[in-house]
């Protein structure tokens, strides 16, 4: 049986993920069911991997003086439900029952504001470099778990719901490596 947001394991917090709660979320309107998974890519600073900056961004602790790019993004408040690091580590920032702030201005199949009915998964990566095998393994495990819990209609890229505004997960993301994407 599919779970609704907030039911089941730890009120939407998945076992097996490292939990780093973000303040950047709110409630889903009208207990909106989760129907979509949005895959993103992020690196901070751009093109660099492995540091604590993504976690700091999602928890509003990014030092704007640590890198020139950080001054440009100092006032944004964003999050995702999950981050898959280059080594496959899974970090959860927002409960699946909450609305993470990941999609921005977005539209899927005529429905606006995809944050209302989606889960956001960030992959540590960028448009110019391939993703790691460990990331695809972790992502496929996560997707299988989420499909067991929720009635997911599709797995899409950020570029699919915000065309012309976003490019991620980018041309180096291999959609064929996902199991049953329902794209």
Residues known to be catalytic? 122
Residue showing tokens 């999950």: 82
CA distances from 59 to 63, 98, 153 (A): 11, 15, 29
Q: Any residues with CB less than 8 A from the CB of 26 and at least 6 apart, and which?
A: 98, 99, 101
Calpha distance 34→12 (Å, rounded) = 12
CB-based contact 119:39 (threshold 8 Å) = no
């Amino acid at each position: 049986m599919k779970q609704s947001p907030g039911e089941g394991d730890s009120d939407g917090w998945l076992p097996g993920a490292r939990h780093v709660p973000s303040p950047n979320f709110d409630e889903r309107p009208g207990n909106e069911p989760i129907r979509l998974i949005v895959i993103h890519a992020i690196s901070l600073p751009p093109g660099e991997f492995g540091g604590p900056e993504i976690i700091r961004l999602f928890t509003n602790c990014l030092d704007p003086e640590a890198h020139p790019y950080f001054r440009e993004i100092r006032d944004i408040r964003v999050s995702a439900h999950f981050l898959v690091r280059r080594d496959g580590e899974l970090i959860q920032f927002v409960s699946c029952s909450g609305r993470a702030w990941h999609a921005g201005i977005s539209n899927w199949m005529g429905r606006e504001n995809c944050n209302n009915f989606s889960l956001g998964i960030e992959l540590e990566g960028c448009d110019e470099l391939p993703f790691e095998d460990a990331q695809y393994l972790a992502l496929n495990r996560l997707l299988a778990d989420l499909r067991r819990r929720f009635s997911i209609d599709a797995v899409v890229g950020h570029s699919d719901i915000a065309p012309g505004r976003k490019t991620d997960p980018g041309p180096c993301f291999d959609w064929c490596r996902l199991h049953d994407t329902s794209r």
